[in-house]
Amino acid sequence: MNIIQTIDLTKRYKINNIAIDALQNVNLTIEEGEFVAINGPSGSGKSTLLHMLGCIDRPTSGKIYINNTDTSTLSSKALAKLRLRQLGFVFQQFHLLPTLTAFENVELPMREAGVPGKERRERTESLLESVGLGSRTRHIPSQLSGGEQQRVAIARALANRPAIVFADEPTGELDSVTGERILDIFESINRESLQTIIIVSHDKSVTSRAHRVIHLKDGRIVQ
């Protein structure tokens, strides 16, 4: 079953009154449970595509369907609800709240979604245990290594059991051994929970593990 479909997806920016098409008429289908890698040279539109698919930004024209819902018909409030309940995000820079512990960072999306306290606590403990941080739950980000922070970010992205997990260069700031451990977690999520994984990356370790690789160049899918 298609979980994402785009039709003639275009994103245009204006810089000094000059129009630049970051994406041009992208037609793409992603199946439920796929592990997809998106790659291409710098400036090819990879992150822009991820932001469009993840409803972080709106396209200039074209359509994005998520679980057969035309996202262009949704209000900003409805899109925020969709992101909170169905989509998870992992970024290269982690974006953890510096004053919150690992436990509190992971728990926060569940608070926003109205998950009851007991379930929140149990799920948070289980998620942190699953990414190998069961003994680090009370540490704030500055007390964690880069790899540990990224694992907290992954646990946070999974907090509300999203159907789709998006990751933008999740191993870009990590050493190769830690990066492989992070990819092991994504592969496990995909295999065991059948969650759809979409990763933007230059890393060949990512593309070698993906079910399918989408190549972008100049805002278009070329392969």
pLDDT score of 56: 92
pLDDT score of 217: 93
Residues 206-219 pLDDT 10s: 999 999 999 999 99
Evaluate if residue 203 carries a pLDDT over 90. Answer: no
Separation between Cα atoms, residue 17 and residue 138, nearest integer Å: 49
Mean pLDDT computed over 151-171 = 94
- How high does pLDDT run on average in the chain? 93
Task: Report the predicted TM-score, pTM, of the whole model to 2 decimal places.
Answer: 0.93
Evaluate if residue 1 carries a pLDDT over 90. Answer: no
Residues 12-61 pLDDT 10s: 988 888 888 899 999 999 999 999 999 999 889 999 999 999 999 999 99
What secondary structure letter does DSSP report for 66? E
Residues 69-100 pLDDT 10s: 999 999 999 999 999 999 999 988 889 999 99
pLDDT bracket for residue 173 (50, 70, 90): confident
Residue 107, helix vs strand vs coil: helix
Residues 104-148 pLDDT 10s: 999 999 999 999 999 999 999 999 999 999 999 999 999 999 999
- The distance between the two most distant Cα atoms of the chain, rounded to a whole number of Å, is 53
For the chain, which domains are there? 34-56+76-221 (3.40.50.300)
pLDDT score of 93: 87
pLDDT score of 157: 95
Of 93 and 156, the one with more pLDDT: 156
Separation between Cα atoms, residue 200 and residue 169, nearest integer Å: 6
CA distances 126 to 44, 103, 133, 171, 184, Å, are 38, 10, 10, 23, 17
pLDDT score of 14: 84
Yes or no: say if 156 and 109 are a contact pair by the CB < 8 Å rule.
Answer: yes
Yes or no: say if 192 and 161 are a contact pair by the CB < 8 Å rule.
Answer: no
**Which of 22, 24, 29 is CA-nearest to residue 64?**
29
Task: Spell out the SS3 assignment of the chain.
Answer: CEEEEEEEEEEEEEECCEEEEEEEEEEEEEECCCEEEEECCCCCCHHHHHHHHCCCCCCCEEEEEECCEEHHHCCHHHHHHHHHHHEEEEECCCCCCCCCCHHHHHHHHHHHCCCCHHHHHHHHHHHHHHCCCCCCCCCCHHHCCHHHHHHHHHHHHCCCCCCEEEEECCCCCCCHHHHHHHHHHHHHHHHHHCCEEEEECCCHHHHHHCCEEEEEECCEECC
Ramachandran angles phi, psi of 28, nearest 5° = -150, 140
pLDDT score of 22: 92
pLDDT score of 17: 82
pLDDT bracket for residue 67 (50, 70, 90): very high
Tokens for 39, please give them: 């790659």
Write the CB contacts of 118 (distance below 8 Å, at least 6 apart in sequence).
Answer: none
